[in-house]
Copies of this chain bind each other. A is one copy, B any other.
């Protein structure tokens, strides 16, 4: 029941729409009268193939994926993708790739590239503690790079690109794990977009990819690429070279159906603007009681990190405890940065953010000296 629900601000895995969960629950033991659970079905069965192909069709429709692009679904999350990208896109071990590093995830992606080729830093905002996105004039782009990689939204640091980086003719690669399905995107400007789905589109255990056909023929694949990671193999087998994460794929499919019903990416974009706007207003209007370390034009609509009284750990602890009593859960910042963080993915209703900002106001009134 809706009244039993807490408001879960987890950075991922994260809140999902109740309607999706209830549909999954209803069908769990006996999927549409087949006499078996979706978890029990052969991935080659007629019934499951219909689920998988509908999910791909809905991804293509909702995201406007160009028809010649391949849709990939793989296990291993963004972390395995960090390896798969150089393994499938460098072409040779002496090739170079550019990385725009604006947070901890981009940093990991860059590091992984150096196992297989030469990962170059086109920018790196570590000196600002990952609170900014430099202007393009400051990027050091190499026109001979095999690709340029950026992380569209940094979950830990709360930094989001509000635009598609213009990198000229060099293939553009985006990690969209934590803002995928939160706004319309220009797929055709990217050579590869990938995203773990456990933020805005389902449970953990699968990543979706949209791949330009140029990288689906294996011509840039290194010989040491694990077969599981091969873009060519995945594309040629419709993401079923081996057994896929069937149940996860099915739940994503239900989430996609729900997305269509409520109004597609435009709806999620409006909701995200509204929810994040409300929270940033509460922070910025607190006269410094709450502070977000990220500069305004790089702030994420998905993950909102904030400190209390300039990083007062005692107050932050009190805040988290008080919030939990109001059914406002999982508001601690990432282990590596501390403070607080509210993640506002699609599964978080507006009501949850209203309740959070209202609690923030009363907590401030009680604790400001």
Contact = CB atoms under 8 A, between A and B. Distances in A.
Interface of A: 1, 4-6, 8, 10-16, 18, 21-22, 24-25, 28-30, 33-37, 39-45, 74-80, 82-84, 87, 108, 112, 115-116, 196, 198, 202-206, 223-229, 241-248, 251, 327, 329-330, 335, 347
A203 B247 contact: yes
Which residue of A21, A112, A244 has the most chain B CB atoms within 10 A of its CB atom? Answer: A21
A78 B227 CA distance: 11
A42 B13 contact: yes
Nearest to A87: B226
A25 B29 contact: yes
Given A4-B30, A10-B40, A39-B203, 7 more contacts: A8-B36, A75-B75, A77-B242, A80-B229, A82-B227, A204-B247, A205-B205
B45 A227 contact: no
A83 B198 contact: no
A7 to B, nearest CB: 9
A76 B75 contact: yes
A313 to B, nearest CB: 19
A14 B196 CA distance: 26
Contacts of A251: 39
Copies, count: 2
B13 A40 contact: yes
B12 A327 contact: no
A14 B40 contact: yes
Contacts of A13: 39-43, 243, 246
Given A28-B28, A224-B224, A242-B78, A37 B11 contact: no
A284 to B, nearest CB: 27
A-B CB proximity, top 9 nearest: A83-B226, A75-B75, A6-B35, A205-B245, A39-B203, A79-B242, A80-B228, A10-B42, A25-B28
A248 to B, nearest CB: 6
A43 B203 CA distance: 11
A87 B35 CA distance: 42
* Listed residue (A42, A44, A82) with the most chain B CB atoms within 10 angstroms of its CB: A42
Nearest to A45: B330
Contacts of A202: 39
B12 A36 contact: no
Residue of A29, A87, A330 most packed against chain B (CB within 10 A): A29
A75 B76 CA distance: 5
A80 B83 CA distance: 13
7 contacts: A5-B35, A10-B45, A16-B37, A45-B330, A87-B226, A116-B224, A245-B245
Nearest to A81: B228
Contact of A226 (B41, B45, B80): B80
Nearest to A41: B13
Contacts of A335: 44
A6 B203 contact: no
A44 B336 CA distance: 13
A41 B227 CA distance: 31
